[in-house]
Amino acid sequence: MSTCFFCSNLGGEVLYRNNLFRIIAIDEPNYPGYLRIVLNEHTKELSDLTDQDNISIYLAVIKCEKIIRKLFSPEKINLASFGNMTPHVHWHIIPRFIGDLHFPNPTWGEVTNPQYIPSKVVIEAHQTMLNQFNQLFLALA
Amino acid sequence: MSTCFFCSNLGGEVLYRNNLFRIIAIDEPNYPGYLRIVLNEHTKELSDLTDQDNISIYLAVIKCEKIIRKLFSPEKINLASFGNMTPHVHWHIIPRFIGDLHFPNPTWGEVTNPQYIPSKVVIEAHQTMLNQFNQLFLALA
């Protein structure tokens, strides 16, 4: 387990944490608003979790999606759980904008807009997210 | 709506269908076992769904993951919901193998193993999945 990145690192700035998972703000200049939810325990696949834990983490993904939509008004939300290189359950939640670095490809795909720079509005929304995430998350049913 | 691919096409061979979604076998020769769950109604984001519908479709994703793991014993399961080009809720569920076409990248990433050919065992598992999916799905709690 000591070789697992998410077992030995929080993975970024923790915006919220409970007994099951933590929510991390990803410092990726091209993608303000990028969040990652990381399971605290080392578990490889989502289907290794109980349905109850699985639903808890999934509803947290959806709450993150709602917060991102509220703050960033993105063109689309992208969700993914891969773990080929770090097989420790985690979710990527990424706001996407027309004309962003890879749009309409997934962020793991080919760059389509190499000149892209996130707008000031988006960068400000990211700062708002860092400041207000916890209260916005807890306010969601 | 008529311009939405998933509103005008089932999207492949339907292995299971209910009032909320359909489960499709993807005919992608490099990725036997690739499943897609498509919402029947046109909805852009998962967070537009009720929690109840959202959990129903998510638990179906997890059931697909369990069936794929049982039949294919993959190295890893990859899940994703993007919709940048087709903004109609759908999930990708993809079994991944060490040495497959893009491993360890996501299947939307760079090709790493251009010579990859799925094994006979994997191709047979795909046929088993086509034949038995419905009963395996219904057998899961």
CA-based torsion, B58, B61, B66, B69: positive or negative: negative
Nearest to B32 by CA among B132, B124, B134, B133: B124
- In sequence order, what E strands does B10-132 have? 13-17, 21-25, 35-39, 76-81, 90-96
- Of the pLDDT bands very low, low, confident and very high (cuts 50, 70, 90), residue B53 is very high
Q: Which residues of B touch A51 (CB under 8 A)?
A: 59, 62
Task: Check whether A2 has a pLDDT greater than 70.
Answer: no
Q: Which residues of A touch B44 (CB under 8 A)?
A: 76
Strand partners, B127: none
Q: Please give the distance of CA B31 from its chain centroid, rounded to a whole number.
A: 10
Longest dimension (CA), chain B: 44
Prediction ipTM score: 0.97
Nearest to A39 by CA among A53, A51, A21: A21
| pLDDT score, position B2 | 61
Q: Which residues of A touch B77 (CB under 8 A)?
A: 45-47
- In total, the C-beta contacts within 8 angstroms joining chain A to chain B are 101
Task: Check whether B141 has a pLDDT greater than 90.
Answer: no
Element (DSSP H or E) covering residue A57: helix A51-72
In chain B, the residue whose alpha carbon lies closest to the alpha carbon of A50 is: B62
Q: Give the global pTM.
A: 0.97
- Please list, residue by residue across B60-72, b when 16 or more beta carbons sit within 10 angstroms of its beta carbon and e when fewer do: bbbbbbbbbbebb
| pLDDT score, position A141 | 77
A80/B76 CB distance under 8 A: no
Q: How many CB atoms lie within 10 A of CB A28?
A: 15
Contact B121, B33 (CB under 8 A): no
In chain B, the residue whose alpha carbon lies closest to the alpha carbon of A66 is: B47
Q: How many CB atoms lie within 10 A of CB B23?
A: 25
Which region holds residue A12: left if phi is over 0, alpha if psi is between -120 and 50, else beta? left
Average pLDDT over residues B2-24: 94
Q: Which residues of A touch B58 (CB under 8 A)?
A: 54-55, 58
Q: Does B66 touch chain A (CB under 8 A)?
A: yes
Q: How many CB atoms lie within 10 A of CB A73?
A: 12
| Chain A closest-CA separation from residue B34 CA (Å) | 14
Least CB-CB distance to A85: which of B47, B51, B104? B104
